[in-house]
Homo-oligomer: A and B are copies of this chain.
């Protein structure tokens, strides 16, 4: 039995259909909370080695599909492979997260380049092809990338940041260097996503995890505008591809994204009020979200009440069930199974 893309529940929701039992997948669904993931991770070498190993990356992408039957698989990778493929040194330290050789100035930006970009990322494209072949026919395949502001913040700060002091000192003080970096990331990310579609991705999600740290005018300049350009580039090459944006933490700024309608899906963090999202956003985009990941850790009646509330408010329009942020490693896998059951049973 071959299912066409258009018949998959996730695709139908993103095209604006109200799917009776809403599709569900979870951000970071392939990850450390799964023992079978930890087993593969332990023999993969570094974290980046795992991202660039088509066989193992395919395996960990499929693990949560087998276990829970999610409506979508999302490519196992990391948003910082783009920085890596542009020539920046990127590593990951256990318990500390990403560590990059931070860009110091415009010269460092100028040294980054797109030569060899696709060669470095070839294993990712190969992974997508393999996943697509092995997925159940009803399961959609999501490719992804980080948004330029979020990726730039890591490239400038050299890792995670509390207040983005250095990245914002570029934004306000090294205006030309910062603009050059954002422009390069728009170009690189567009090319990367276009190749992901050609390799088999049916949906693309863009993560702007730190958009909420920006003032509203800066959010429009450095989150919304680059994402609009990337979506335009991708749609110029592949008009049919469906794009989900996750500008996390921007509050009422979600209205700006909904107004422009250049993406088919909007992923909501857990702070977004459900009634407000239904009344002001859902007519313009398929909504996705937004259970608190810590409710999935807690499980039980707190979780089922939270799930029911979300389904009641958002389930009467185009909607994809998800978390408000990624699964945390402490999540009991049984709770994930319970969650899928709750959503499927409505």
Interface residues of A (CB under 8 A from B): 163-165, 168-169, 171-173, 175, 212-219, 249-256, 270-274, 276-277, 280, 290-295, 297-298, 300, 302-303, 306, 309, 324, 328, 330
A324 proximity list for chain B (CB < 8 A) = 215
Alpha-carbon distance A218/B290, docked complex (angstroms): 13
Residue from the set A163, A172, A270 with the largest chain B CB neighbour count within 10 Å: A172
Alpha-carbon distance A168/B292, docked complex (angstroms): 10
A250 proximity list for chain B (CB < 8 A) = 251, 271
Judging by beta carbons under 8 Å apart, are A163 and B294 in contact? yes
Judging by beta carbons under 8 Å apart, are A163 and B328 in contact? yes
Alpha-carbon distance A218/B309, docked complex (angstroms): 12
Judging by beta carbons under 8 Å apart, are B270 and A256 in contact? no
Judging by beta carbons under 8 Å apart, are A328 and B165 in contact? yes
Alpha-carbon distance A254/B252, docked complex (angstroms): 9
What number of copies of this chain does the assembly contain?
Answer: 2
Judging by beta carbons under 8 Å apart, are B252 and A273 in contact? yes
Partner of A216, one of B218, B219, B273: B273
A311 CB, min distance to chain B CBs, angstroms? 14
A214 proximity list for chain B (CB < 8 A) = 270-271, 292
Judging by beta carbons under 8 Å apart, are A215 and B169 in contact? no
Judging by beta carbons under 8 Å apart, are B255 and A298 in contact? no
Judging by beta carbons under 8 Å apart, are A165 and B297 in contact? yes
Closest B residue to A296 by beta carbon equals: B172
Judging by beta carbons under 8 Å apart, are B298 and A163 in contact? no
Judging by beta carbons under 8 Å apart, are B251 and A165 in contact? no
Report if A295-B252 is in contact (Cβ < 8 Å); known contacts: A215-B270, A219-B271, A324-B215.
Answer: no
Judging by beta carbons under 8 Å apart, are B253 and A271 in contact? yes
Q: Which 3 A-B pairs have the closest CB atoms?
A: A251-B251, A172-B298, A168-B294
Alpha-carbon distance A249/B272, docked complex (angstroms): 10
Alpha-carbon distance A49/B219, docked complex (angstroms): 40
Partner of A252, one of B216, B217, B251: B251
Alpha-carbon distance A47/B280, docked complex (angstroms): 46
Report if A276-B255 is in contact (Cβ < 8 Å); known contacts: A212-B249, A215-B290.
Answer: yes
Report if A165-B215 is in contact (Cβ < 8 Å); known contacts: A251-B251, A255-B276, A271-B251.
Answer: no
A173 proximity list for chain B (CB < 8 A) = 298, 300, 302
Closest B residue to A270 by beta carbon equals: B215
Alpha-carbon distance A127/B309, docked complex (angstroms): 47
A209 CB, min distance to chain B CBs, angstroms? 13
Residue from the set A163, A215, A277, A330 with the largest chain B CB neighbour count within 10 Å: A215
Judging by beta carbons under 8 Å apart, are A216 and B274 in contact? yes
Alpha-carbon distance A300/B171, docked complex (angstroms): 13
Alpha-carbon distance A280/B271, docked complex (angstroms): 18
